[in-house]
Amino acid sequence: MANLSIGEGFIFTLLRLRNYVEPMGLLNDVASRGASGAKKIVGSRGSKPPRYSAAGLIAKGLRGESWPRVWRDVPLRSAYDVIIVGGGVHGLATAYYLATNHGITNVAVLDKAYLGSGGSGRNTAIVRSNYLTPEGVAFYDRSLALYNSMTDDLNINVMFSERGHLTLAHSDSALRTMHWRAEVNKLQNIDSSVIDPQQVKEIVPSLNVSSDAHHPIAGALYHPPGGIIRHDAVVWGYARGADHHGVEMHQKTEVLDIVCTGGEGPDGKGRGGKVTGVRTNRGDVSAPIVVNCTAGWATLISDMAGVRLPITTQPLQAAVTEPVKVFLPAVVVSGSLHVYVSQTDRGELVFGAAVDPFTNYNVRGSLDFTEGLAGHILELMPGVSKMRLLRQWAGLCDMTPDYSPVMGFTPVDGFLCDVGWGTYGFKAGPVAGEQMAECIATQRTPKLIEAFKLGRFEAGRLVGEKGAAAVGH
Amino acid sequence: MLLVPCPYCGPRNSSDLRHVGEAISRPDPNAASPEQWRSYLYLRDNVADWNVETWYCTRGCRKYFKVERNTATNEFRDPPMPGNKIGGKA
Amino acid sequence: MTQSHRLNPQPGEVIDRSAPLNFTWNGKRLTGFQGDTIASALMANGVEVVSRSMKYHRPRGYMTADFWDPNGFVQVGDEPNVRSGHRQLTSGITVDPQNVWPSLDYDVKAANGLVGRFLSAGFYYKTFMKPAALWPAFEKVLATFAPGGSVDLDSTPGYYDKRYSHPDVLVAGGGPAGMAAAIAAAESGARVMLVEHEHQLGGHLRWGSTADQASARQLAESVAAAGVEVLTDSTVTGRYEDSWVAVSQRSHAHAVERLIKARAKVLIVAPGLIERPYVFAGNDKPGVMLSGAVRRSIAMYATRPGSRAVVFSGNADGDAAAIDLERVGVDVAAVIDARSGANIVEAHGGAKRVSSVELADGSSIDADLLVVAAGWTAPTSLLNMAGDRPVYDASCARFFPSATIDNVLSCGGIAGDGNFDEIVAHAQATGRLAAERAAAVQHRLQARTARSAPVEFAEPAWPADVRSPLGRDAHPELFQSSTVGMVDFSEDVSSKDLVLAAKEGYDSVELLKRFTTATMGPSQGKLETVNTVAVLADARGETIEEVGTTVWRPPYAPISLGGLAGRMFNPHRVSSIHPWHESNGQIPIQVAAWERPEHYGNPAGEVTNTRTNVGIIDVSPLGKLDLRGPDVPKLLNLLYTNKWSKLPIGGVRYGLMCAEDGVVLDDGVTGRLGEHHYLMTTTSSGAARVWEWAENWLQTEHPDWQVHITPVTTALSSINIAGPKSRELLSRLTSIDLSREAFPYMTLRTGIVAGIDDCIMWRIGFTGELSYEVHVPSGYGLHVWQALIDAGADLGVAPFGLEAQRIMRLEKGHFIVGQDTDGLTLAVSAGVASLIKLDKDDFVGKTELAWALADRMHELPQVVAIQTAAPTVVPTEATQIVRPGTNEILGRITSSRMSPTLGRSICMGQVPSSLAAGGTALELVLVPDGRRVAATVLDTHAHFDPEGARLRA
Amino acid sequence: MPEFESAIIKTYAPNPGASMFLSDESATTKLLVRSDQAQFGLVFGASSAVGEALICATRPDEWLILGSEPAVDAAAAGIDSGGFTNVIPFTHGRSLFRLTGAHAAGLLEKICGIDWSDAMTPEGAVTSASVALTTCDIIRHDRNGIRSYLLMCDRSFGQYLFDALLDAGDEFGISVE
């Protein structure tokens, strides 16, 4: 196990120094530093960009002006202090907190497509913190807190709708698991309790709570702080915030290889090695730290550094209906029926389900998914049979054996992971970014993610969320 | 709905089978190191490419079999339905 | 109200004037004809405004008057979002406008239009932020802008249905090309399914010349003659992997909607082209219609779309619309020929109708109808789903397929242009090619399928595509005028919104789409995509080809949840004794698919009777596997943690199974019936899993072992007879010697019970009582049960259910896999150390268990029996065990009951090893009030009769 | 011995004039042969009459003998007991139904994903598949030139499947025989 934590001994002097010596004048610092190859920052924010506000909207509306770019479009440079692979919520949040909490701004976020094109833009935007294990609860509770203040922090309305989250139980054993979660939650001061079918009906009148349903509702875990959020706004908000601090976002920039030296594998990769940079479709870029935030593509990226991960990739499908007048006030999840549903402010029902039954990297979506989904939804809410499914899509999930992430250092020095999020990635984005930033900046594993280290698999100490997996989302 | 080439039944809808996972071999349980054993338990290649995997024909012949599938395209080697191939310019 | 806008009979009209139909619109009674769509009936009645737009609540009239019309959504009875341009009128329906408040004519939210310039796309991201406390209130206001109709939550689903199909060739689109392809394929010997979205075959021929209409009829007759299965008012909604094609059939005689799942050997995509709107100021005003809408209105529905028209024409269809209008007496004020560079810049008018059209030269023409013919969108959805990425051809101003897909062929307008004969000839060649390729696919499927008829010839070579491609007609690039207009009508997104968003950095198609919601509305970009891309290209100073397009995702057209769900199947299992339970007061419980008695009214009484007299329980759902072969002991040794080599014939043994990570998987008893014959029982829920598990080990790791596993769960009805009088009861029904000496604990006997041969009896005791489990051939299960009831009246025999069994097993301290253990519980934590035999050469999970026993026991939890200090307190299952005085979680209660036998509460739970010793004090946090109570760990798992004297009696 | 009781416990009013029929033949004697030897010269997917019994190759290493008890006994004499072979009485394990009618394939097409065309599932073909979400062995066994199928499922699902077949057959005018 000792050899798995090599990265923690590594001291990143430059970053540390800058962090402590000059935490404020960040842009100047980045721009003046020749060592990392930064000559001149093209398009760097000269002054603070205008804040979003109603007054601003009116002023711009009157003058017919457009807003400045949400993030700059700048050339890719040849060196950075940190390269983050994957421009989703996790990668962008990591960059944002590196800049804001630690003053590390010579950072590039690379995405092979456009920002938010992976799971961040494909999830069903549910947030909650009523997990099963104390580790999970503490972690997601921090995430929920960050989501709660995000509109203010990022100055973009992420439209967090704290509407309550219901996880239905259709059997005694499911109800027992709900009680288990509720009790763990309560002991950590999370608002979470088990309610009976009548209370379920009062909160969500469209649910069929009759006992002669095929899968009668035996009760539910009710979590009032859970809700939905506008996922794209979270992506754009972090990107905009990171950009304000000098972080660069590079879209259509695909990492083709990770360059290492000294490792026991081919080309200096693997255990004992050290990262020196990445090869991309737009040229080579050097960096002493490379962070893998690529969800479904996680093993493909980590393979480039010679690091094997306990991850399989399985699509998670979702779908949306045409809009109708709003009738569903809360997020409803049924683990045993493999479905979750919420209604957007636009009136669409947004559905998700369980991951596909076999590994693959295909996001085309299947008919079986929509059939199963509709059947299960109608068992729960027979009144919606005439609503129409408008669109279906899929995202790639990085599934781990214990339904918990892999975070922090790896056996390759300078190569860090924030992956293995399975179906929970979006909920965790803010806290994952915050903790990864701390991990990079301090070169120590923060306590909140101690349980999620890669080494736990080789040590045989899995995280207990496995028990709650069946009732996920 | 994939058409899975069961070597016994012939092509079958994937809902008639269960995907067992990547074909892996079991280390000697009495000699394996923790690293080897837990690699066997938890680590998978998870390539986005051709991969040998095991399926179980649940609703059909009830045989376990190995088959090669491209996890990026979901194409099977020597596919039961020829013609899925996407070519160049129309 | 008369049908004021109905024309004299037209030669191709699809309405039946002899069949008038009454309906109400917006509270008014109107009349239409059989064959009308709701839209055509409304237009015939002179209705001009049918809806309000989503954001600005601008009045909207019919623009395309077909399925895709973004303005034509109406509520019909309890059905929201009905496409009035497509749905046929039926007698007596109630049709109402949607998205209006308080009414269609006076909509208060239309005021949004006045502040429109502040409500640019994505405005909500930039405001409503301060004060944060008010956001929930803002959110409620935003939610009232939700477009769409209303659902009636009390409505019950109608009869929906599904069907599989295996056509050789499936043709999507019943226009001239689709029909010609279907005929040619069928004449080449293929089984063909032809699916048409509209109510009639014929495509654009339906609103063409008399000759066109005659051609359509002729083709349709040939389709029928060729034996093609024709589905009209049906849509191919998706093409999924391995040519799995979804068809939504709305025209089925019995079902509201039927989903057909077709494994089409070849799919022909022939959806034709969709006419595209033009972006200019006022382009969403009522009275602005696309040329196809105007021509359909006249030719098919005999309705007059206006009285004075301006026609903006970029193609022959626009010209034809002008001719059609003149023919039926509409004053065509001007034809603005885009091909000669003329342009329109704005449709002027009041709130409800166009009144004049302003041209690029500054002139203005009075008109109440502006007909636009600006070009076509190729609906390439099905090709996208098959992996094609269409590319833009600037000379034709539309996208074309870019790739060849061997089993997806396209013909008709999506593939190119030509005159009727050229289109038909290409389609026929496509049909023949499809049939040939389908034959090649059929050959391979048939040759490889075990049950199929033998194939008589070698697999044919893959038929090459030797079709001559269709030509392409030049078309001017007509996307937007010099003015700002609506691009996405259902989302109220204008060209200015798109330009501003692009400048703000949302400048790739996907980001733009997400930020502005353009193309995300109900027509999913069928009308909007190309204009969106064109506006973006213009803003970026690039070509459309460079900007590219978005991926069209399934479904091609929205499909109802009822249709997708179909009839719902919920397989339901019962034992052979079920009729008795039903007529004897069972309170049933559903456990997975099984329905079984939870109790018969008084579970505590059932416990007491069993402990005092004798009880019988139907345990038929218990998983049972018949194992035969010389290597069964090897298999048992591998699957179970304990040893099986020395189990004698007639012996029964308990075993625990683990997965390779050492986690408890299942448990049960296995008995040896003969030299090479065993019967294994599993948990009810684990039956299927254990069977597959055992087969996996046999087939993949040990194919050389000779073992046959046969599931016999429902071949045998299983009855447990428990209690001090069970021996007496059973002895009345069998001649087998049941004495303690002749038939000791943990042995089995076979023989006759209640006259039934081939019964298996084993003496085991999950309840802790003297008990016999009898396995009876299922055809006689009910007979044996009834015989036990009848024979034991004087002994006090009574049935007991699952709940009484759960209480008794907890009294006795037996854990339940999956309840007292969880997904991480290693076998070494289950308190059955004596069953883990590390001296065996191998067993599943051994490696992990050996390591755990060597050095991890201190960090692993233990399953223990627990009792609360106060005997009346029954902690809810899942009650947490904490470090006293803190919220630190140490463990939890996994099972708990009030014990009728002991008159106190009893529990089982998981605690850390350090707290597992008997006598250890625990603190529990009760549900729901958080009250903290004391409890103690017991020395053994058993709360009752720990020595096992009763079951050995 | 008391009478064998089928899993079909509901009673139905038969309509002799119907165009499609479903009958419960669960009492048929069923004998399972598991063997690594080819039996009766039948390869997986085929069936054949042996005397009055019907022998179906239901799995690559499994054969099922159906018929009256004497017929099955007679046929069982032909089992090659060489190699690794076991014979397992299976009468009680399965419900057995017969579906007969010109549109019988049309009914199955509603609840089962198998291709029922003559080329793919000819007379005598044996397959197994999900029917209304239960696993069934299905044998095409036409009667007097009329399409007919034998369907077998786990006995505990019998009543459920019987009703699911009747429901699916409603549009074809099905009746219990």
Q: Where are the domains of chain C?
A: 16-109, 161-273+380-448, 479-569, 571-620+715-814, 622-713+826-859, 860-953
Set of chain B residues whose Cβ sits within 8 Å of the Cβ of C266: 83
pLDDT band of C482, cuts 50, 70, 90: very high
User: Exposed, middle or buried by CB within 10 Å (0-12, 13-18, 19+), for A171?
Assistant: middle
Find, among A163, A177, A189, A188, the residue nearest to A221 by Cα: A177
Chain C partners within 8 Å of A467 (Cβ): 822-824
Instruction: Spell out the alpha helix ranges (H) of C586-678.
Output: 603-612, 632-639
Does the beta-carbon distance from D59 to B62 stay under 8 Å? yes
At C418-439, the pLDDT tens digits run 999 999 999 999 999 999 999 9
- Rounded to the nearest 10 degrees, what angle do helices A89-102 and A425-442 cross at? 40
Q: Are C403 and B88 an interchain contact pair (Cβ–Cβ within 8 Å)?
A: yes
In angstroms, the Cα distances linking A96 to A154, A429, A432, C129 are: 10, 11, 11, 20
Residue A468 has pLDDT above 70, yes or no: no
The pLDDT score that the predictor gives to residue C352 is 83
Assess whether pLDDT exceeds 70 at residue C163: yes
Q: What is the pLDDT of residue A46?
A: 42
| pLDDT surpasses 70 at C690 | yes
Q: Which residue has the higher pLDDT, D109 or C823?
A: D109
CA distance C943 to C934: 17
Nearest CA in chain C to D120: C452
**Min Cα–Cα distance to chain D from C870, Å:** 44
A and D: touch, per 3+ CB pairs < 8 A? no
Q: Could you tell me if C190 and C434 are in contact, meaning their C-beta atoms sit under 8 angstroms apart?
A: yes
Q: How far apart are CA A313 and CA A360, in angstroms?
A: 6
pLDDT of A45 over the 60 cut: no
A443 in C contact zone (CB under 8 Å): no
Residue C926 has pLDDT above 50, yes or no: yes
- Residue D135 to residue B59, Cβ atoms within 8 A: yes
- Average pLDDT estimate for C931-947: 96
Residue bearing tokens 């397009």: C549
DSSP string spanning A272-284?
Answer: T-EEEEEEETTEE
**Which CATH class name applies to C860-953?**
mainly beta
Whether the pLDDT of residue C642 is over 90: the answer is: yes
Shortest alpha-carbon distance between residue D113 and chain C (Å): 6
A65 inside 8 A of chain B by CB: no
> Residue A120 has what DSSP assignment?
G
A321: contact with C, CB 8 A cutoff: yes
- Domains of chain B (ranges; CATH) run 1-25+47-82 (3.30.2270.10)
CATH architecture label of C571-620+715-814: 2-Layer Sandwich (3.30)
C-alpha to C-alpha distance for D110 and C261, rounded to whole angstroms = 10
User: What confidence tier does A52 reach under pLDDT thresholds 50, 70, 90?
Assistant: confident
Q: How do A388-399 and C408-410 pair as beta strands?
A: unpaired
C568 pLDDT band (50/70/90 cuts)?
Answer: confident
Q: How far is A198 from chain C (nearest CA, A)?
A: 17
**Given a cut of 80, is residue C216 above it in pLDDT?**
yes
Q: What letter does residue C567 receive in the DSSP assignment? A: S
Cα gap A117→C886, rounded to integer Å: 45
CB C866 within 8 A of CB C893: yes
Q: Name the strand (E) or helix (H) holding C240.
A: strand C234-240
pLDDT value at A89 more than 80: yes
Quote the DSSP letter at residue C312.
E
- Over the stretch C856-906, which tens digit does the pLDDT of each residue have? 999 999 999 999 999 999 999 999 999 999 999 999 999 999 999 999 999
Domains of chain A: 2-123+232-308+407-471 (3.50.50.60), 165-224+312-399 (3.30.9.10)
Per-residue model confidence (pLDDT) at position C351: 73
Chains that contact C by 3+ CB pairs under 8 Å? A, B, D
User: Which tokens in the block code for residue C862?
Assistant: 């233990």
ipTM value, please give it.
0.94
What's the average model confidence in pLDDT over C824-849?
95
Q: What angle do CA C182, C188, C190 make, to 5 degrees?
A: 65
Measure the N-to-C terminal CA separation of chain C; round to a whole number of Å.
92
- Of all residues in chain A, the one with the smallest CA distance to C823 is A467
B36 in contact with C, Cβ within 8 Å: no
Q: Which of B8-39 are b and which e, b meaning 16 or more Cβ less than 10 Å from the residue's Cβ?
A: bbbbbbbbbbbbbebbbeeeebeeeeeeebbb
| pLDDT value of residue A48 | 63
**A29 compared with B1, residue with greater pLDDT:** B1
Of 3.20.20.70, 3.10.20.440, 3.30.1370.60, 3.40.50.10190, the CATH number of C16-109 is 3.10.20.440
Average pLDDT over residues A266-283: 97
- Report the pLDDT value the prediction gives residue A24, as an integer from 0 to 100: 32
Q: Distance between CA A314 and CA C461 in Å, rounded? A: 36
Give the class (CATH, top level) of C479-569.
mainly alpha
- Residue C619 and residue C701 in contact, taking contact as beta carbons nearer than 8 Å: no
| C542–A contact, CB cutoff 8 A | no
- Testing the interface with C: which of B14, B19, B76, B81 to mutate, by most C Cβ within 10 A? B81
**Gap from A37 CA to chain C (nearest CA, Å):** 26
Share of chain C above pLDDT 70, in %: 98
Interface contacts A/C by beta carbons within 8 Å:
282
Cα of D111 to nearest chain C Cα, Å: 7
Compute the distance between CA of residue A177 and CA of residue C878 in angstroms, rounded to an integer: 7
Position A15 scores a pLDDT of: 31
Q: Which of residues 385-444 of A touch B (CB under 8 A)?
A: 401
B-proximal residues of C, 637-696, CB under 8 Å:
660-661, 692, 695-696
**D20-26+93-176 topology per CATH:** Gyrase A; domain 2 (3.30.1360)
Q: In chain D, where are the structural domains located?
A: 20-26+93-176, 29-89
**Which tens digits make up the pLDDT trace of C47-86?**
999 999 888 888 999 999 999 999 999 999 999 999 999 9
Residues 84-113 of D with CB under 8 A from B: 113
Per residue, what are the HEC states of C354-374? Answer: EEEEEECCCCEEECCEEEEEC
Fold held by C622-713+826-859? Alpha-Beta Plaits (3.30.70)
In sequence order, the β-bridge partners of residue C483 are none
Tell me the chain C residues in contact with residue D94 when contact means C-beta distances shorter than 8 Å: 715
> C162 and chain D: CB distance < 8 Å anywhere?
yes
Which residue among D45, D60, D128 places its CB closest to the CB of B59? D128
Neighbours of chain A (3+ CB pairs under 8 A): B, C
DSSP of A358-402: S-----S--HHHHHHHHHHHHHH-GGGTT-EEEEEEEEEEEE-TT
E strand or H helix that includes residue C909: strand C904-912
Helix (H, G, I), strand (E, B) or coil at A257: strand
- Looking at residues C487-499, what average pLDDT do you find? 94
Residue A300: strand, helix, or coil: helix
CA-based angle A133:A136:A140, to the nearest 5? Answer: 145
Band (pLDDT 50/70/90 cuts) for residue C817 is: very high
Q: Where are the beta strands (DSSP E) in C157-228?
A: 161-165, 169-172, 192-195
pLDDT of residue C276: 97
Per-residue pLDDT tens digits for C278-300: 999 999 999 999 999 999 999 99
Residues C245 and C235: their CA atoms lie apart, in Å, by: 10
Q: Which amino acid is at A152?
A: D
Q: Is C461 helix (H, G, I), strand (E, B) or coil?
A: coil
Residue numbers in B near A313 (CB within 8 A): 46, 48, 71
Mean pLDDT over each residue of chain D, to the nearest integer: 97
DSSP E strand boundaries for chain B: 3-6, 10-13, 18-22, 50-56, 64-70, 75-76, 86-89
Cβ neighbour number for residue C63 with a 10 Å cutoff: 27
Check pLDDT > 90 for residue B82: no
The total of other beta-carbon atoms located within 10 Å of residue A210's CB is 11
So what's the pLDDT on residue C111? 63
pLDDT, one tens digit per residue, over A385-401 is 999 999 999 999 999 99
> Looking at per-residue confidence, does D2 or C941 come out higher?
C941
- Residue A282, pLDDT > 80, answer yes
Task: Report the first-to-last Cα separation within chain A, whole angstroms.
Answer: 32
Whether C and A touch, i.e. at least 3 CB pairs below 8 A, reads as yes
Domain over C161-273+380-448 is classified CATH 3.60.21.10: no
Provide the 8-state DSSP code for D100.
E
pLDDT exceeds 90 at position A440: yes
Least confident of A90-94, C512-516, D159-163: C512-516
What does DSSP assign to residue D145? T
> Inter-chain contact D156–C714, Cβ cutoff 8 Å?
yes
D98 with D148: CB under 8 angstroms? yes
Q: Given this model, what pLDDT does residue A17 score?
A: 30
Q: Determine the Cα–Cα distance for residues C313 and C579; give it in Å rounded to an integer.
A: 75
Q: How confident is the model at residue A39 (pLDDT cuts 50, 70, 90)?
A: very low
Pairing of strands C354-359, C364-366: antiparallel
DSSP C574: -
- Residues C164, D160, D46, D169, CA torsion sign: negative
Q: Is D31 helix (H, G, I), strand (E, B) or coil?
A: strand
> What value does the mean pLDDT take over residues A144-161?
91
Nearest-angstrom CA–CA distance, C728 and C792: 9
| Alpha carbons A38 and A14: distance in angstroms, whole number | 15
Closest CB from A151, A171, A183 relative to C879: A183
The total of other beta-carbon atoms located within 10 Å of residue C158's CB is 13
Residues 377-416 of A with CB under 8 A from C: 377-379, 381-393, 402
Please list, in sequence order, all residues whose beta carbon lies within 8 angstroms of the beta carbon of residue D57, skipping any fewer than 6 positions away. Answer: D39, D40, D42, D43, D44, D45, D46, D47, D63, D126
Instruction: State yes or no: pLDDT of C706 exceeds 80.
Output: yes
β-pair type (C623-628, C708-711): antiparallel
Q: Do the Cβ atoms of C448 and B10 come within 8 Å?
A: yes
Backbone phi, psi, residue D100, to 5°? -130, 135
